[in-house]
Structure 1
C-alpha cells in the first residue's frame, strides 16, 4: 500500500491539472447522474416491531382513508372574547377543501370559548410526497391566514406541521465552514495552506451529496440523512486533508521538492488516513443494528460522504500541494525568517504528563466519570411540539392547547377495539375510569363493523414520563382485542426499542474496531484501552448533553427555553459516529508513537515524541470539527441541535482529556506492555501497518529518478 500511495502522491503532484480536471469531470458527471437517476428523500415512520403499529394497520385496513397524517389548528382570541361561529365554520370549510384532507373535526371550544381546536385527518401518511415540506404546510397556512388578518391568533400543531417547520436552513453549515477557515489560517499561517483542506473537503462532499441522491433512487433515504452525512463528511474531510497537508509541509521543510514531499506524505499520513476512515466506516455500519431502517440509511448516506471525501483527500491534496508549491509554507519561512527555535507546547505538555502519569490518569478519569454520571438519569423521547423553539407555530400551538385544554390534548391516544373480542363502550368506560385519563370520546364503529375507534386524552403531555407509564398500564389492564395506538404510544414504543438496541450497536462497533486496531498496531492492550477511552469520552458527552437539555443547564445559549428530553434518535446515532471519529485521532496518534517505538525501542520517549509531533495537528483537526458541529447546533430542529452539540462536546473531550492526558499517561505507565501480543495471536492475526517511516527506504527513494524504478522496492515497503 505504501508504494501505491507514494506513486499516487508523486504522480498527482507532478500533474496537478490532470487530477483537478478529472475531479471537475467527476463532479459534473455525479450531479448529472443524480439528476437523471437520483430519487427524493423520503421518511418511513412505520415501525413494524412497535406494538402501536398494530393499531395503525387496523385503521388502514378498516377505516376509509384511515391511518394517515394529522394536523391540529388552534385559534385563539388574544382579547379573551368568544370566537364567532361564522369564522370557525369558514375555517372548517377551507380545511376540508385541502388535498388529501378526509375529515375535519368540529371545533372544540375551550371553557371560556376564546379558543378553538380543530383536527384535520389526511388519507396519506405524513411522509407522502404530496404532504412533505411546503406541499402540506402551505395549504394549512393559507387556511388560517384570514383569521390572522382578522386579528386572531391561529397556530398549527401536530404531526404534519412539525415535520415542515423542522427543515434545515443551512445557516449552521455556513457558519461552521467560515469558522473552520479561520482556524486553518491560524494553524498554517498561510492562506493557501488553510484554504486547501477546506476546498478538498467541499469537493469531496459535493460528489458525496450526489451519491446520496443516487442512493435515494434505489431505496428510501431519510430526509435527515443528508444532514448527518454533510456534518460528518465535512468534518472528516477537513481532518484528512489537514493531516496530509501537515505532513507535506513537514517534508517541504526538510528540503524535499514538492513531488517527493507529496509522495512521502501519502506513503505515511495517507496510510493513516485510509485506515482511520476504515474505523469510521465500521462504526457507521453498526447503525444497521439499530433496529430501524432509517438508521441503515443514515449509515449508508454517511458512508458515501466519507468515502467521497477520502477519495478527494488522497488525490486532490497532493495535486493541489504540487500546484501550490512553496506557498504552503508560512510567510516567515518563505522569506527565510525562521521562527525562534523552541520546544513545542505539545512536547512540553507530553513531558509534563509523562513525569506524573498516575496523577494525570486519575484526574482525567475522575473528570470523565463525573461528566458521564448524569447519563444514568438520561430520558429519551422523540421530538414533539414541546421541544421546539417558541419561534415556531408548532410550539405556540402546543402551549395554547396545553393552557386551554390540558397538556394531554397535544397527544391523545387512539384506541382500536376489535368488536368480535370486546365491547367498545365497556372498553371506553374502563379507560375513562383509569387514573391519568381525563376524558374519552364516543366510540365510532367502522362501516364494516370490524373495529370501533375512540380517543382518550391523558392528563400529561406526550414527553412526560408518566405518559409512557400510562400507555403500558392501559395495555396491561385492557382486554384482548384492544390496541392503544396513535403518535404518542408509537413514540413510547420507539423510545423503549432504541434504548435496548444501543447495546447491540455498541457490541458490534467495539468488537470490530478492536480487531482492526489489533491488526494495525500488533497489540492487545492498545485497542482494548482505546475502546474503553472512547466509551468514556462518549459517555461524558452523553452526560453533558443530558445536563444541557434535560436539566436545562445553559440551554438558553442553545435556543432551548425549557428542559427537554434527549431525542430517542441521538444515543445510537451519536455513538456510531463518535466512536469512528475518536478512532481517527487514535490512529493518528498511535501510528506516530508506534513508528518511534519501532525505531528506538524507547517506550516512554516514544509516547512523548509521538504526542509532540501529532498534538498540534490533532488539536487543530478537533477544533475544526468542533466548530463545524457547533454550526449545526444553531439549527432550529431540536434533533439536529442536540446531535451537533453532543458531538462537539465529545470531540472536545476526546482531543483534550483523552488524547492529551489519558492516552499518554496510561501508555507511559504501561511501557512495553502497550505492545504486548500473544505469540499465537500474532501468528494468526493479519498484519496492517498504520504508518511507518523507513529511513533507509527514503534514502533509496532519494536516488530514484523515475517512478518506474519504484517498482523494485516492493519488498521493502510493507502494506
Structure 2
C-alpha cells in the first residue's frame, strides 16, 4: 500500500490534469445516472417479526391502496360551524375539485354519506372537520407540488373564509425540501477556521473542494444504491452531515502534510508522494475506524438503522476517495500556489519555538493528576444529566411552531383530542372464515368493536372496514392520549396481551399496527439489540488499536475515553432537549423526547470519530516514543505536534454538525447538537488533557506488549515516511509495515 500510495502521489504531481479529468468524467457519469433515477425514499418504520410489521403486511395485502400516499385536509371556521349550509357547500366544492387533481384517487369527506351515520371527522363544537385524501403514488413520492395543487383546489373553502391546512403525509410534503442552508452555514464557518489554521485562501479552499466532491459522490452513490432498497429521508441528511465533517478533516490532514514537506525543502513531486503515502494512508485507516462504528448498526437487525449505517458508511468512504484520489490531483495543479492569498502573520519567537499545545503538554507532564481530575470534572458536568435520560417518541406536536405539520397537529388536537394524530390500527386476518361462515365473522366484528370501545384510553373506534374478498378487516382506534405519550404505549400492550387474544378465535389473527405501534416495537427491539451493538463496536475498535499501536493499555484507555465522550453527548441531549433548557434557542417551544434509536446512532458515529482523534494524537506520541524512548517527552512533543491540527479539525466538524441544528426536524437538531458538542469535547478535553495526563501517569506501561504476539500480528506503522533515496518506481521494500503518518 505504501508504495502504491506514494506512486499515486507522484503521478498526481506529474500528470495532474489527466488525473483530474479522469476523476471528473467518473463523477459526471455517476452523478448523471443519479440525476436520472433519483433517490428512492421510504420513511415507513418496519420491524421484522414484530406485531406491527405483521399488521402492515396483512393491511398491504388486503387493502393495497393503504400502502400508497394519503393525507388529511383540515377545515376550520373559528366563527361558525363547518356544518352550516355555507360551510358545508364550500367544503364540498373544495373536495369536488380535489378529486380532479392529478394523482388523487379518492377523497373521503367529513360529512356522513347517509343520514344517521356517525361523524367522527367533525369536531364536537362543529368548528373543525377533516377529509381523507388518497393518492396513486407511495408516501415518499408525494411532493410539495402535490400538496400545493391540493391546497389550490381547496380554494372555495378559503374563499369562504375557512382555514384550510394539510395534515399527515400531505403536511410533510407541504413542508418541502429544507434546502441546503445548514450545509452552507457549516461550510462558511469551516472556511473561516481553515483560513485561520492554514493562513492562505488557496490552502483553505482545497479541503472544501475535496469535501464537496466527496459529498456529491456520496449522495449519488447512495441514490443509486437506494434503488435496490429504499432508504428513509433522514438517512441522506445524516450522511451529508458526516460526509462534510470528515471530508474537510481528511483533506486538511493531506494538505498540511504536503505543505510541511514543501517547507522542509522537498520538491513538489516527492512532497505530494510523501503526503499521499503518509497522510493518505492515515485517512484510509481513519475512514475504516468510522466504518467499524457505523457497521455496528447493521447488527441491530432493523431496516431503519441498517439504512442509516450503510448510507453514512458510503458517504464516509466516498469522502476518503475524494481526499486520497481527487485531492492529490488538485494539489498537483495548484502546487507552489498553495499559499496564494496568504494572511499577514505576526509570530513571536516564543510562539515559533513552542506552540500553545506544546506548552499545555509541558504543564500536563508536570501535573498529570491535575489534568486528569480537571478533565473528568468537566466531563462529569456534561454527563450528569444522563441520570434523568428517558427515551420516548416524537410526533408532530414537537415540530417548530409554524411548520405545516405542527399547524395541522395542533388544530386537530384541539378539535378532536391528541389521539387523532396517531391512531392505532387493529388488523384482522380472516382467511377463509368470511367466505365459509360470514355470520360468525359478523359476530366477531361486532364483539371486537364493542370490546375496543370499552377499553380505558380509547376515545373512539372506526370500522370495521372489510376487504372486497372478505379476507381481512381493519379498525381504526383513536386513543385519548398523544402518540408520544407513554400511556399510548401502555394501551398498545394492553390490546395485544389482554383484549385481542380472547377475540382471535376460529383461525382469525388479530394484530395492532400503525406508525405509533411500530415505533413502540422499534423501541423494544433497539433495547434488545443494544448490548450486542455496543460490545461488537468496542471489541473491533479495541482490536484495531491493538494492531496499530502494539499495546493493550492504549486501546483499553481509548475505549474508556470514547465512552466518556458518548456519555457527554447523551448528557447534552438530555439537558438541551429532554429537559428543554435549550429548546427555545433551537427553535422549539418545549421539551422534546429523545427517540430510542438516537443514542445508538450517536454511539456508532461518535465511537468512530473519537477513534480518529485518538489515532491522530497517539500516533504522534508513538512516533516520539519510538525515537527517544522517553514517555513523558513523547507525550509533550506529540501533543505539541498534533494538538493544533486536531483542534482545527474538531472546530470544523463542530461547525458543520451544529449548523444542521437550524433545520426544522427535531431529530436532525439532536444529531447536530449532540455530535457537534461531543466532538469538540472529545478533541479538546479528552484528547487534549485527559489522554495525555493518563499516558504520563502510566509511563512505560502504555507500551507494554508481549513479544510473541508482536511477531504474530501484522504491522501498521503510523509514523514512517518514505525514504529519501527512493527509486523512480517507488519506495524500496520495507519490512511489511504499512506507512501512515502522524498528523
Contact 2:201 2:342 in 1 (8 A): no
- Answer yes or no: is the 8 Å Cα contact 1:537–1:654 preserved in 2: yes
**Corresponding position of 1:118:** 131
SS in 2 for 1:423: helix
1:506-530 Cα distance to aligned partner (Å, 9 max, x none): 2222211111111111111111211
Residue in 2 aligned with 1:475?
496
Q: What is the aligned counterpart of 2:705 among 677, 681, 688?
A: 677
Tell me the equivalent position of 1:48: 48
Structure 1 residues 182 and 15, CA gap change in structure 2 (3 angstroms) = same
Shift in Å, 1:209: 2.7
Once residues 428 and 515 of structure 1 are traced to their aligned partners in structure 2, the CA distance between those partners, rounded to angstroms, is: 57
Q: Which one of 560, 575, 584 corresponds to residue 612 of structure 2?
A: 584
Residue 266 in structure 1 maps to residue 279 in structure 2: no
Contact 2:143 2:176 in 1 (8 A): no
Query: In 1, distance between residues paired with 2:361 and 2:220?
Result: 43
Match of 2:625? 597
The reply to whether residue 396 of structure 1 matches residue 424 of structure 2 is no
Aligned residue for 2:115? Answer: none
Structure 2 CA distance for partners of 1:548 and 1:712, relative to 1, 3 Å: closer
Q: Distance in 1 between matches of 2:470 and 2:220?
A: 50
Q: 1:554 to 1:254 in 2, by over 3 A?
A: same
For 2:304, the equivalent position in structure 1 comes to 294
1:463 corresponds to: 484
Q: Shift in Å at residue 448 of structure 1?
A: 4.2
Q: What is the CA–CA distance in structure 2 between the aligned matches of 1:319 and 1:518, rounded to whole Å?
A: 34
The one of 580, 584, 588 aligned to 1:552: 580
CA drift at 1:103: 5.0
Equivalent of 1:364 in 361, 369, 375? 375
Within a 5 Å distance, the mapping from 1:427-506 to structure 2 comes to 427-441=448-462, 443-480=464-501, 481=504, 482-506=510-534
Tell me which residue corresponds to 2:398.
387
Which stretch of structure 1 is more off in the superposition, 521-530 or 440-449? 440-449
Q: Give the paired residue count.
A: 707
Paired with 1:381 and 1:159, the residues of 2 have a C-alpha distance of: 22
Q: Structure 1 residue 90: deviation in Å?
A: 2.5
Alignment of 1:34-45 (within 5 A): 34-35=34-35, 40-45=40-45
Q: For 1:707, what is the secondary structure of its paired residue? A: coil
Whether the 8 Å CA contact 1:591–1:692 is kept in 2: the answer is no
* 375-384 or 201-210, which deviates more: 375-384
SS for the counterpart of 1:468 is: helix
The one-character-per-residue Cα deviations of 1:452-507 (angstroms, maximum 9, x if unpaired) are 43332212111112211221122221132232222221222222222333332222
Q: How does 1:513-524 map to 2 (within 5 A)?
A: 513-524=541-552
Deviates more, 1:138-147 or 1:394-403: 138-147
Describe the shift of the 1:431–1:680 C-alpha distance in structure 2 as closer, same or farther (beyond 3 A).
farther
Give the TM-score normalised by the residue count of structure 2. 0.88
Residue 534 of structure 1 corresponds to which residue in structure 2?
562
Cα offset, 1:334, TM superposition: 10
Contact 2:412 2:421 in 1 (8 A): yes
1:525-550 deviations in Å (ceiling 9; x for gaps):
11121122112111211221122122
Show the counterpart of 2:349.
340
The 2-side partners of 1:103 and 1:483 are apart by 27
Distance 2:10 2:411 in 1: 66
Structure 1 residue 341: Cα displacement: 3.8
Q: Could you tell me how far 1:68 is from its partner in structure 2?
A: 4.6
Structure 1 479/713 Cα, relative in aligned 2: closer, same or farther at 3 Å?
A: closer
Are residues 112 and 712 of structure 1, via their aligned partners in 2, closer, same or farther at CA, if it must alter by over 3 Å?
closer
Partner of 1:275: 285
The equivalent position to 1:104 in structure 2, one of 101, 105, 108, is 108
Q: 2:88 aligns with which of 78, 85, 110?
A: 85
1:253 to 1:60, Cα distance in 2 relative to 1, 3 A: closer
Following superposition, the deviation at residue 181 of structure 1 comes to 0.9
Deviation larger for 152-161 or 319-328: 319-328
- Give the conservation status (yes or no) of the 8 Å contact 2:95–2:107: no
1:57 and 1:462 map into 2 onto residues whose CA distance is 22
Kept in 2, the 8 Å contact 1:412–1:458? The answer is yes
Secondary structure in 2 matching 1:414: strand
Q: Give the secondary-structure state (helix, strand or coil) at the position aligned to 1:555.
A: coil
Q: Aligned partners of 2:240, 2:604: CA distance in 1, in Å?
A: 16
TM-score under structure 1 length normalisation = 0.91
Q: 1:353 is paired with a residue of what secondary structure?
A: helix
Q: How is 1:614-629 mapped onto 2 (pairs within 5 angstroms)?
A: 614-629=642-657
TM-superposition CA deviations, 1:247-268 (whole Å, max 9, x none) = 2222222232333322333333
How far 1:643 sits from its partner (Å)?
1.4
How far 1:560 sits from its partner (Å)? 1.0
Q: Deviations over 1:296-326 (max 9, x none)?
A: 3333333332222222222444444444344
Long gaps (5+) in structure 2? 112-120, 434-440, 505-509
Alpha-carbon separation, structure 1, partners of 2:167 and 2:611: 42
Query: Could you tell me whether the CA contact under 8 Å between 2:107 and 2:131 is conserved in 1?
Result: no
1:201 deviates by 1.6
Conserved 8 A contact 1:13-1:320: no
Distance, in Å, in 2 between the alignment partners of 1:716 and 1:493 is 50
The alignment's C-alpha RMSD in Å is 2.8
> For residues 248 and 146 of structure 1, what CA distance do their matches in structure 2 show?
66
Please give the per-residue CA displacement for 1:543-594, whole angstroms capped at 9, x wherever unaligned: 2112212211111111111211123442232222222111111111111111
CA shift for structure 1 position 606: 0.8
- 1:372 Cα deviation after fit: 2.6
Q: Does 1:564 align with 2:592?
A: yes
Preserved CA contact (<8 Å) 2:48 2:302: no
- Please give the per-residue CA displacement for 1:197-217, whole angstroms capped at 9, x wherever unaligned: 111222233333332232234
Structure 1 unaligned regions, length at least 5: none
Q: Does the aligned pair in 2 maintain the 1:275–1:690 contact within 8 Å?
A: no
| Deviation at residue 602 of structure 1 after TM alignment | 0.8
Partner-residue secondary structure (3-state), 2:662: coil
> 1:602-654: CA deviations, max 9, x gaps?
11111111111011101111111111112222112222222122211221111
Contact in 2 for aligned 1:9/1:262 (Cα 8 Å): yes
Matching residue of 1:62: 62
1:358 Cα deviation after fit = 2.0
Assess, with a 3 A threshold, how the Cα gap between structure 1 residues 115 and 175 changes in structure 2: closer, same or farther: same
SS at match of 2:139: coil
Structure 1 window deviating more from structure 2 (492-501 vs 457-466): it is: 492-501
